[in-house]
Amino acid sequence: MRLKIEVDLDYHFPEATDVLLAVEVAQLPDQVLSEDRLTVSGSGPLRPIGAEDGIGRRTWMRAEGHCRASYRATLAVDRPAEAIGGLSESPLPDLPPEVVPYLWPSRYCEADRFEAFVDKTFGGQSGGARIEAMAEWIRREMDYVIGSSDVTTTAVDAFLSRRGVCRDFAHLMASFARAAGVPARLVSAYAWGLKLPDFHAVVEVWLDGGWHLVDATGLAPIEGLVRICVGRDATDIAFMTIFGVGAMQAQSVQVTRLDG
Amino acid sequence: MRLKIEVDLDYHFPEATDVLLAVEVAQLPDQVLSEDRLTVSGSGPLRPIGAEDGIGRRTWMRAEGHCRASYRATLAVDRPAEAIGGLSESPLPDLPPEVVPYLWPSRYCEADRFEAFVDKTFGGQSGGARIEAMAEWIRREMDYVIGSSDVTTTAVDAFLSRRGVCRDFAHLMASFARAAGVPARLVSAYAWGLKLPDFHAVVEVWLDGGWHLVDATGLAPIEGLVRICVGRDATDIAFMTIFGVGAMQAQSVQVTRLDG
Amino acid sequence: MRLKIEVDLDYHFPEATDVLLAVEVAQLPDQVLSEDRLTVSGSGPLRPIGAEDGIGRRTWMRAEGHCRASYRATLAVDRPAEAIGGLSESPLPDLPPEVVPYLWPSRYCEADRFEAFVDKTFGGQSGGARIEAMAEWIRREMDYVIGSSDVTTTAVDAFLSRRGVCRDFAHLMASFARAAGVPARLVSAYAWGLKLPDFHAVVEVWLDGGWHLVDATGLAPIEGLVRICVGRDATDIAFMTIFGVGAMQAQSVQVTRLDG
Amino acid sequence: MRLKIEVDLDYHFPEATDVLLAVEVAQLPDQVLSEDRLTVSGSGPLRPIGAEDGIGRRTWMRAEGHCRASYRATLAVDRPAEAIGGLSESPLPDLPPEVVPYLWPSRYCEADRFEAFVDKTFGGQSGGARIEAMAEWIRREMDYVIGSSDVTTTAVDAFLSRRGVCRDFAHLMASFARAAGVPARLVSAYAWGLKLPDFHAVVEVWLDGGWHLVDATGLAPIEGLVRICVGRDATDIAFMTIFGVGAMQAQSVQVTRLDG
């Protein structure tokens, strides 16, 4: 699937502010970039750095006043739909060292507080089948309500309110998986076919010795996901982190299929 | 300073359980091992893996029934006492990519919730002087009370209760630093001179392009700290993580000076 | 049912401390006292006061050092087992003014946070049938584990950990009811037939114009409950509130049936 | 001081909904009503009930669709400015039974969690002087920022964010007082002289055998406060409680001085 991605961010910063952008497509075997370009007006020189786990790219900018960032990419995604139901859990001692931290709870994924619920609700299953049952539970019990959460909302908050957006669904998914001893990380992504185009958040779980994508919202096909970067929770993968004060004025994300 | 470290852990596991140990001294320029040995009875084969940030070592064991782990090390620490008061903050865009995540809040360090307090209380200072002011605040306002917290206690909890142990003091220190835009990580350590010998938790902050040790408890000299491993908070650096059920029966940590 | 109640409390107070006791049986139509007596050694003069909602009695004492309180009562309970399943909810505007506050969330019953869960889980039912479904849910999903909670544990905490004691079961029951618009209050009680004799906590819900007892633990029959006092949550109905520092040294509660 | 109060509430309720209004001025010795009238369009018959502690009035309405409530009152307030600094605390056993619950923590006033802070910060003072020191601390350390909190914000949240509105300032004030063993209740009020006219929330503390008004915001003079009702926290004293869904469309509160 060949995709074109167009992102436009229009922000205002009353004072000179460090801003970390994470909008660039990660170069990975199943998503191959033809070309991409990030252009920013209203910023000092850009400073690119790597992202977490060596996956993807981020860019520091020093923004002041009106600032427009524009990102354009064309790429091919070659990722077959995958049934994870048959995958088994990896023995814990086989986990690569860099995967181990994805067992831990994190700021917005209080996995430790879900252990009893996960054990009671999903204790009869294991491996990929258990992960699928968790995703189904989330789709069934949670309402997707735009505006129902904010940057302070944790997995526990969403579990209680039974509402959220992609970020919250992903936090629940990762929390449930970790509570069951399955490493899980958050993934920011562009998603072809998402009804209300925006940055998307999904999860990768570690099964059978590798990472596998899960979208607890079910709002977009796995085959059309384009990963940006990964991390423990929303705080690591934010498309924009402002170290000061800034206000969004306009923002758009478009993912267009070029073939098919 | 030449030190001998002796750790004895005596636990009981009713069922076969994966356990991750993080007790081995990290090999670092300022702490040079002569020899060390981890021996475990009551476990299947040990599986060593690296620890976070490539610092230190961890060991998986499969424990069942009565299990005794014993660790012995002799090493030389050559770390002069350092005054961090004069160090300056590194510009954010200069941070190495692997340091950036230590700006984020984590499970037990809700740095985001301390921003207003930190700005009001320490906003007039910067760099190492601000970090020192934070450590002094913690020493002055917090009571060190053994038994006053447990593994679920967060920095916010400790801030409210004004009580805690080394883990809580370190969580507050890291939270305050991150809330001020200074990367901070938790460090598990052996501490020469600690009154009640036990595993210790301290913090490293990133100033002037490098990590610098801070012990918010002030209970042991920096010159006698022996780092084990590092991470975002207590969950990453636990000396023992039990993936199931286990009970401590006896435990001792001894740090002895061999010279001087 | 004629019952004898014997309570012995043995506490130590390092300094002179105000203590509020709420251990005396409330005089109510369905529980008629023959006689009772509260005696306290190690206290200054006792000062009796009424309890909340005009139900029951409390006693201030000024305790210092070793302090023993002993309470003895004999009474007759005449309360038939009641099926609440058929009762209907009272229209809100018909609630007596003093019942209205039992619609609100309270310190340990965050009813507001359970609205979505309650609506999704019990939304298809109403009245007494809904209350019974809530009690069944609690009995089925919660594990009664002595020592699994403490005085700081809220209904949300118990909901997540799926464990608790009578206090937590009652907090959940009251939270669920209030979230559904049904007034609910906590009731401290002596319970004939309770396996591990202790103070008990149950709930009263307002249905069909009156209060009705519900024991979400199912550990003791409603017919043998002896009410002490009522309130919004555990904090109002504690059998002992210490305004300072005190330590329990021994404590026993016995409820004996005199007839039958 | 003679005052005229004019309140207009314009709401929309998509379905028939029970709504509890608490906008009517309480009749009390220091605030004497000449006349008042509550009129509501778009509601079924109004049902007046008493409010908590026997202070003030509330009115149930059954609203559907567009609903306008209008309240007009003229009254005389005769309340001299009072210096509470010299008042002493009442011995706990002297508290009237109905005052005792105002010692407890409540949903939005987690007094139990502030005990250490209060003891460390205000432990050297007592009585009215301590209450005044608490109010000064709140005025100094908290920023009054409209929009910075919502109905879910607790005293702990406000303490951390160091921001809030009158509701949050009152929650902190009540929490601090209770943590020090001084009964405190929330009071909803009309406030003459409030810059941005709106419903106001203040606190009453129990000192020297009576309730005394404290406004931790310092935004309006005590002499011009007109009490509506009282309760444990914001949930008890809300001017409008909607048992369902409703949206504000317009709202105004005016307090005008008729003499002087």
Of D47, D92, D107, the CB nearest to C106: D107
CB contact under 8 A, D104 and C50: no
- List of chain C residues whose C-beta atoms are within 8 Å of the C-beta of residue A114: 160
User: Are the C-beta atoms of residues A220 and A231 closer than 8 Å to each other?
Assistant: no
Does residue D260 carry a pLDDT above 90?
A: no
Does residue D55 carry a pLDDT above 80?
A: yes
Residue linked to tokens 């160091």: D162
- State percent of chain D over pLDDT 90: 96
Q: Give the per-residue pLDDT at B168.
A: 98
Q: Give the per-residue pLDDT at D42.
A: 84
Per-residue pLDDT reduced to its tens digit, A98-154:
999 999 999 999 999 999 999 999 999 999 999 999 999 999 999 999 999 999 999
Per-chain mean pLDDT for chain B: 96
Q: Give the per-residue pLDDT at C235.
A: 96
Q: Give the per-residue pLDDT at B9.
A: 97
Distance from CA of B117 to the nearest CA of D (A): 7
Is C176 in CB contact (< 8 Å) with chain A?
Answer: no
Mean pLDDT for C230-248 is 97
Q: Give the per-residue pLDDT at A44.
A: 83
Per-residue pLDDT reduced to its tens digit, D100-115:
999 999 999 999 999 9
Is D120 in CB contact (< 8 Å) with chain B?
Answer: yes
Mean pLDDT for B14-36 is 97
Is D113 in CB contact (< 8 Å) with chain B?
Answer: yes
Mean pLDDT for C26-49 is 94
- List of chain D residues whose C-beta atoms are within 8 Å of the C-beta of residue B117: 160, 162
CB contact under 8 A, B105 and A62: no
Secondary structure (DSSP) of chain A: -EEEEEEEEEEEEEEEEEEEE--SPP-BTTEEEEEEEEEEEEES--EEEE-GGG-SEEEEEEEEEEEEEEEEEEEEE------GGG--PPPGGGS-TTTGGGGS-BTTB-GGGGHHHHHHHHTT--HHHHHHHHHHHHHHH-EE-TTS--TT--HHHHHHHTEE-HHHHHHHHHHHHHHTT--EEEEEEEETT-SS-S-EEEEEEEETTEEEEE-TT--S-GGGEEEEEEESSHHHH-SEEEES--EEEEEEEEEEE---
Q: Give the per-residue pLDDT at C44.
A: 83
Mean pLDDT for C220-238 is 97
Per-residue pLDDT reduced to its tens digit, C147-161:
999 999 999 999 999
- List of chain B residues whose C-beta atoms are within 8 Å of the C-beta of residue A22: none
Q: Give the per-residue pLDDT at B82.
A: 83
Q: What is the ipTM of this complex?
A: 0.96
- State percent of chain B over pLDDT 90: 96
User: Are the C-beta atoms of residues B129 and B190 closer than 8 Å to each other?
Assistant: no
> For residue A43, what pLDDT band results from cuts at 50, 70 and 90?
confident
Of the candidate ranges A167-171, B193-197, B251-255, D204-208, the one whose mean pLDDT is the lowest: B193-197
Instruction: Give residues with Cβ within 8 angstroms of C232, minimum separation 6.
Output: C101, C102, C104, C106, C107, C109, C185, C186, D101, D106, D232
Specify the pTM. 0.96
Q: Give the per-residue pLDDT at D224.
A: 96
| Mutation for A interface: B52, B57, B92, B245, most A CBs within 10 A | B92
Per-residue pLDDT reduced to its tens digit, A221-236:
999 999 999 999 999 9
Chains touching C (at least 3 CB pairs under 8 A) are: A, D
Q: Give the per-residue pLDDT at B219.
A: 96
Mean pLDDT for C168-190 is 98
- State percent of chain C over pLDDT 70: 100
Does residue D1 carry a pLDDT above 90?
A: yes
Q: Give the per-residue pLDDT at A98.
A: 95
Distance from CA of D16 to the nearest CA of C (A): 13
> For residue C42, what pLDDT band results from cuts at 50, 70 and 90?
confident
- List of chain C residues whose C-beta atoms are within 8 Å of the C-beta of residue A162: 116-117, 120
Per-residue pLDDT reduced to its tens digit, C66-107:
999 999 999 999 998 888 999 999 999 999 999 999 999 999
Mean pLDDT for B142-149 is 96
Is A92 in CB contact (< 8 Å) with chain B?
Answer: yes
CB contact under 8 A, C113 and A160: yes
Per-residue pLDDT reduced to its tens digit, D150-208:
999 999 999 999 999 999 999 999 999 999 999 999 999 999 999 889 999 999 999 99
Per-residue pLDDT reduced to its tens digit, B40-97:
998 889 999 999 999 999 999 999 999 999 999 999 999 988 889 999 999 999 999 9
Per-chain mean pLDDT for chain C: 96
Instruction: Give residues with Cβ within 8 angstroms of C150, minimum separation 6.
Output: none
Per-residue pLDDT reduced to its tens digit, D121-141:
999 999 999 999 999 999 999
Secondary structure (DSSP) of chain B: -EEEEEEEEEEEEEEEEEEEE--SPP-BTTEEEEEEEEEEEEES--EEEE-GGG-SEEEEEEEEEEEEEEEEEEEEE------GGG--PPPGGGS-TTTGGGGS-BTTB-GGGGHHHHHHHHTT--HHHHHHHHHHHHHHH-EE-TTS--TT--HHHHHHHTEE-HHHHHHHHHHHHHHTT--EEEEEEEETT-SS-S-EEEEEEEETTEEEEE-TT--S-GGGEEEEEEESSHHHH-SEEEES--EEEEEEEEEEE---
Nearest of A8, A60, A19, A23 to residue A245 by alpha carbon: A19
Of C18, C104, C236, the CB nearest to D235: C104
CB contact under 8 A, B113 and D156: no
CB contact under 8 A, B104 and A107: yes
Mean pLDDT for A57-85 is 95
